[in-house]
Amino acid sequence: MPVRVTVWGENVHEHTNEIVGKLYPDGMHACIAAGLNEDPEIQAGSCVLQDPEHGLTAERLAQTDVLIWWGHCAHGEVADEIVDRVQERVLQGMGLLVLHSGHYAKIFKRLMGTTCSLTWREAGEMERLWVTNPGHPIVQGIDKYIELPHTEMYGEPFAVPNPDEVIFISNFAGGEVFRSGLVYRRGNGKIFYFRPGHETYPIYYDANIKRVLKNAVKWAQPEGSSWIDDCPEIPVEKAPNKIVSQGEGLHKPGEGGFK
Amino acid sequence: MPVRVTVWGENVHEHTNEIVGKLYPDGMHACIAAGLNEDPEIQAGSCVLQDPEHGLTAERLAQTDVLIWWGHCAHGEVADEIVDRVQERVLQGMGLLVLHSGHYAKIFKRLMGTTCSLTWREAGEMERLWVTNPGHPIVQGIDKYIELPHTEMYGEPFAVPNPDEVIFISNFAGGEVFRSGLVYRRGNGKIFYFRPGHETYPIYYDANIKRVLKNAVKWAQPEGSSWIDDCPEIPVEKAPNKIVSQGEGLHKPGEGGFK
Amino acid sequence: MPVRVTVWGENVHEHTNEIVGKLYPDGMHACIAAGLNEDPEIQAGSCVLQDPEHGLTAERLAQTDVLIWWGHCAHGEVADEIVDRVQERVLQGMGLLVLHSGHYAKIFKRLMGTTCSLTWREAGEMERLWVTNPGHPIVQGIDKYIELPHTEMYGEPFAVPNPDEVIFISNFAGGEVFRSGLVYRRGNGKIFYFRPGHETYPIYYDANIKRVLKNAVKWAQPEGSSWIDDCPEIPVEKAPNKIVSQGEGLHKPGEGGFK
Amino acid sequence: MPVRVTVWGENVHEHTNEIVGKLYPDGMHACIAAGLNEDPEIQAGSCVLQDPEHGLTAERLAQTDVLIWWGHCAHGEVADEIVDRVQERVLQGMGLLVLHSGHYAKIFKRLMGTTCSLTWREAGEMERLWVTNPGHPIVQGIDKYIELPHTEMYGEPFAVPNPDEVIFISNFAGGEVFRSGLVYRRGNGKIFYFRPGHETYPIYYDANIKRVLKNAVKWAQPEGSSWIDDCPEIPVEKAPNKIVSQGEGLHKPGEGGFK
């Protein structure tokens, strides 16, 4: 069964910035999806901010194993209702890859609970992403490090919770360092934050970057089952041990809980 | 220096439910604060949902080392703007104790990124909170377990991220179990979720519960410094290594980043 | 490709205790392997303490995807050299399931770094293993909880490092609780500690227990690649950036590092 | 109450290598202790490998709040019995700072459960230790980064378990990166691994390094109580719930458990 991927793109700079428009004529989202589709085990499509419901209908999300998120200047335009929907699917097991400036995406901040801030510089400097765990599925086929000749620098402090794993650490020509590949788990969803990706550089055409995304998509796919949690009352008669209700209560029998 | 504590209470059931009103005539928040103030090293005050800005003004929060949160039926009435403010302070180092039904409080869900759901039953059954780490500061002065004769049951699954530490695990007369004392860290804020606390039982008068809260407040106080993070651009001339700007860019010199 | 499992058993009580001998005539290890082999996706064999090299030759371990460890009264008789070998394979990616009294096995203590102690009682009491995450691969096909009519109680405090995930929490008729299903990662090896299993009860014939072991074995199999780490010197000429050796040194060129 | 620190030094290179002997005439251990003693809140002494019991008598360890470990070429000469003793104290709450080549010390590998390997180069290159969390107690008084003009490079992959927190990330002139300040918790002991420290450079005289060590020692001191865990049997009559022993058993009443 191929891994079903949806690549979500903000699709703004492709139309407002000439350089980006030339680099990614069909949009970064389509470029990323095309790269993934080189792999027969992956089936990737894309959608954009401007689509109805940002393209992330309940139906589409239900059929998405892994969602890839790219956003930059329009994070605030993503409807909270759609963010709720995406968060729910991640907690149920849908994988999530957050790319580059997506560190400030509502969905990432929602799942992290922190500001996700960092330092940055747009000077086209060289980045070296060092692999911190050569045995990890995400880095298979990657050498000791990936070199990207021109990138936008991101530097520590990166205000995220301590990750479950660090996959890459980058250093930049200007001197800064950054944890550029991070793994988290929220609910049953696997999350991979991957730093490279500035719009004005051809990063998503890079063979190593494409390889990492293919690996990450396969790594992030759901395992187990899609458990949908709720907050059920377990009445006295359903308690595993025999008990009798005692003491005072707020709720009448059968009355729902507060949320 | 005494630890400065603010106890935030929803203050609804104290006025709408006769039992609660009798048990906690000054409100649960005042009862909890009074318990804490038995300890000369703690200086606790309280405020409620109905206060202007829910009592959580920028000034008050700036002078709060540890915030204790109790809410149940009115989570939705807490203004998002206030939640933002509290989250910011936690990330800066303010400690946060979340009690009982506060598992569904906006601030807790905000910091956790998950639904925080659980199972429950209001049958006044006995709870035994077992200590999983006798050496931990939070459990000093507590025996192998705390017994509470009448409680509202909370049961697993508890849909929270894996905690940094589990301090208590409870079992209930009806048979369920629950991780009833959990530690998290978000930014530089220490968070302690502590389960006991249903309004219709005198739990906050219990000597062991009061002891745990005193310990937890001292454990959760800020250490280090109050770092306020932002997302600064580090211009080329400030880079530690000498570099020259190259390649294309989105931002003009001095233009701020996107958020 | 079937998951290749080796079940290691201490094989002592089967021969020294009449009850155990009757319950497990071929040994617990063989019973566990037989249970796993009901699943065509698993290929399980077993070996015992008394075998040459405890059956854990380099060759066997190289062909083992997941090792299951059962030991109780003879932990000290496991040769340190074999423990080294097993640890190495786990760090390289071999999965490890540690069962019941294996909490005191050398390999488990080696990977945990703590004492792994607990409280216990042999009174044949009922145990209920509650599922804390219904979406997890390990608990697929399992209901809200597993009930075992007769077990040996294990109780908190369980002196292990905070697990990456808690899969089961048990409570016992006598009142105690215990984190009975724990997940860790060491190197690229997935580790699952699973509590049930006292020799004098037919626990490994239980359908739910067999289901959990099948799930766990598939979950624990290696992913990524078998990275064998060492401590290589990266000479000046191999540094990614051009540098010149300066300052004083301990090592002559080409001389190995200290270990 | 001043924090009582014991600095343990291998004390070999100071006597076998001329450069080291000149840099650290009283030994690195004494230099580190002297630096700590600049702070009236710290009371530091030192001992060496060559002392009876390596200086780490039960008495000394009982009076040590934080142990600092420096070793390089003689890790194998540390008696296992002493390592047992140190591990026990850490689990009980004694803090542990492991410096530089101590990544291969028996005690660090014992607590980590992994190989703790890395890459390295002795070329006297510049190191920049970036602070990843400016609010953390360990980095108070430190700027955005610490620069050390001449160091021995350590590079990723660093084969340690995922840390609880990353405090520093370094990059080196040669291009490598390394997580150079890591926090772990084992039992109730706080552990801080801190990378800088090669014998042939005056690193322990550096004002920033001394500041970090002072901060770290205060951060690592025990909190809570010194819980000494064991593996007690809880007999039927001591069970919180009333139960009757049933089923078959291995142990006769009062007979101890297996270890």
Please check the confidence at residue D119 and state whether its pLDDT lies above 70: yes
Mean pLDDT of B42-54: 98
A131: CB partners within 8 A, 6+ apart: A139, A142, A143, A144, A145, A167, A168, D156, D157
CA distances from A151 to A127, B61, B161 (A): 6, 40, 33
pLDDT tens-digit readout, A153-199: 999 999 999 999 999 999 999 999 999 999 999 999 999 999 998 88
Question: Which one, of B5, B10, B29, lies nearest residue B215 by Cα?
Answer: B5
Considering chain A, what percentage of its residues have pLDDT values greater than 90? 88
Q: Name subunits touching B (3+ CB pairs < 8 A).
A: A, C, D
pLDDT tens-digit readout, C243-257: 998 876 777 666 667
Q: What is the pLDDT of residue A192?
A: 98
Mean pLDDT of A238-248: 87
Mean pLDDT of B81-91: 98
Question: Which one, of D174, D167, D197, lies nearest residue D69 by Cα?
Answer: D197
Query: Which tokens in the block code for residue B222?
Result: 């800020």
Residues in chain C within 8 Å Cβ distance of D230: 117
Considering chain B, what percentage of its residues have pLDDT values greater than 90? 88
- Among the residue ranges A42-56, C97-111, C216-230, the one predicted with the least confidence is C216-230
Q: What is the pLDDT of residue D17?
A: 93
Chain D touched by A125 (CB under 8 Å):
no
Q: What is the pLDDT of residue C252?
A: 65
Minimum CA–CA partner of B240 in chain D: D128
pLDDT tens-digit readout, B157-191: 999 999 999 999 999 999 999 999 999 999 999 99
Q: What are phi and psi of A180, to 5 degrees?
A: -95, 0
Chain A touched by C93 (CB under 8 Å):
yes
Tell me if B118 sits within 8 A of B103, measured CB to CB.
yes
Mean pLDDT of D59-74: 96
Residues in chain B within 8 Å Cβ distance of A232: 119-120
Please check the confidence at residue B228 and state whether its pLDDT lies above 90: no
Confidence of residue C198 (pLDDT cuts 50, 70, 90): confident
Distance from CA of A114 to the nearest CA of D (A): 13
Please check the confidence at residue B255 and state whether its pLDDT lies above 70: no
The complex scores an ipTM of: 0.94
Taking an 8 Å cut-off on Cβ atoms, the answer to whether A169 and D179 are in contact is yes
Please check the confidence at residue B96 and state whether its pLDDT lies above 70: yes
Tell me if A160 sits within 8 A of A112, measured CB to CB.
yes
Query: Which tokens in the block code for residue C216?
Result: 């766990």
Confidence of residue B254 (pLDDT cuts 50, 70, 90): low
Q: What is the pLDDT of residue A252?
A: 64
Average pLDDT, chain A: 94
Q: What is the pLDDT of residue D172?
A: 97
Chain D touched by B128 (CB under 8 Å):
yes
Between chain A and chain B, the number of residue pairs with CB atoms below 8 A apart is 193
Mean pLDDT of B107-121: 97
Question: Which one, of B211, B160, B198, lies nearest residue B182 by Cα?
Answer: B160
Chain A touched by B106 (CB under 8 Å):
no
Q: What are phi and psi of C101, to 5 degrees?
A: -70, -5
Confidence of residue D249 (pLDDT cuts 50, 70, 90): confident
Taking an 8 Å cut-off on Cβ atoms, the answer to whether D173 and C198 are in contact is no
pLDDT tens-digit readout, D52-62: 999 999 999 99
Mean pLDDT of A104-128: 96
The count of C-alpha atoms lying within 13 angstroms of the C-alpha of B126, restricted to the half-sphere facing its C-beta, is 13
Minimum CA–CA partner of D94 in chain B: B135
* CA distance linking residue D146 with residue D128, whole number of Å: 6
Mean pLDDT of D208-213: 98
Minimum CA–CA partner of D161 in chain A: A165
CA distances from D183 to C184, D164, D166 (A): 18, 6, 6
- Cross-strand partners of A120: A154, B233
Tell me if A13 sits within 8 A of A73, measured CB to CB.
yes
* CA distance linking residue C207 with residue C205, whole number of Å: 6
Minimum CA–CA partner of B173 in chain C: C175
Taking an 8 Å cut-off on Cβ atoms, the answer to whether C72 and D258 are in contact is yes
Distance of CA D116 to the CA centre of its chain: 13
Mean pLDDT of A241-256: 76
Confidence of residue B198 (pLDDT cuts 50, 70, 90): confident
Which of C128, C130, C157 is facing B133, going by the closest CB pair?
C157
Q: What is the pLDDT of residue C255?
A: 65
Tell me if D109 sits within 8 A of C91, measured CB to CB.
no
The dihedral built from the CA positions of residue C185, C191, C192 and C196, taken in this order, carries a sign that is negative
pLDDT tens-digit readout, D137-192: 999 999 999 999 999 999 999 999 999 999 999 999 999 999 999 999 999 999 99
pLDDT tens-digit readout, D9-36: 999 999 999 999 999 999 999 999 999 9
Taking an 8 Å cut-off on Cβ atoms, the answer to whether B131 and C156 are in contact is yes
Q: What is the pLDDT of residue A254?
A: 61
Q: What 3-state DSSP class applies to C100?
A: helix
Catalogue the E-assigned strands of D100-198. Answer: 119-131, 145-155, 165-172, 177-186, 189-194
Domains of chain A: 3-114+179-220 (3.40.50.880)
Q: What is the pLDDT of residue A258?
A: 75
Taking an 8 Å cut-off on Cβ atoms, the answer to whether D156 and A132 are in contact is yes
Q: What is the pLDDT of residue D257?
A: 73
Q: Angle at the Cα of A93 (from A88 to A96), degrees rounded to 5?
A: 80
Bigger pLDDT: D249 or A230? A230
pLDDT tens-digit readout, D230-240: 889 999 999 99
Q: What is the pLDDT of residue D103?
A: 97
Cβ-based neighbour number of residue C49 at 10 Å: 20
pLDDT tens-digit readout, C13-63: 999 999 999 999 999 999 999 999 999 999 999 999 999 999 999 999 999
Chain A touched by C170 (CB under 8 Å):
no
Taking an 8 Å cut-off on Cβ atoms, the answer to whether B226 and D135 are in contact is yes
Under DSSP, the state recorded for A132 is S
* CA distance linking residue C239 with residue D175, whole number of Å: 7
Q: What is the pLDDT of residue A107?
A: 98
Q: What is the pLDDT of residue A253?
A: 60
Q: What is the pLDDT of residue D255?
A: 65
Taking an 8 Å cut-off on Cβ atoms, the answer to whether D137 and B224 are in contact is yes
Chain A touched by C134 (CB under 8 Å):
yes
Tell me if D121 sits within 8 A of D129, measured CB to CB.
no
Q: What is the pLDDT of residue B15?
A: 93
Average pLDDT, chain C: 94
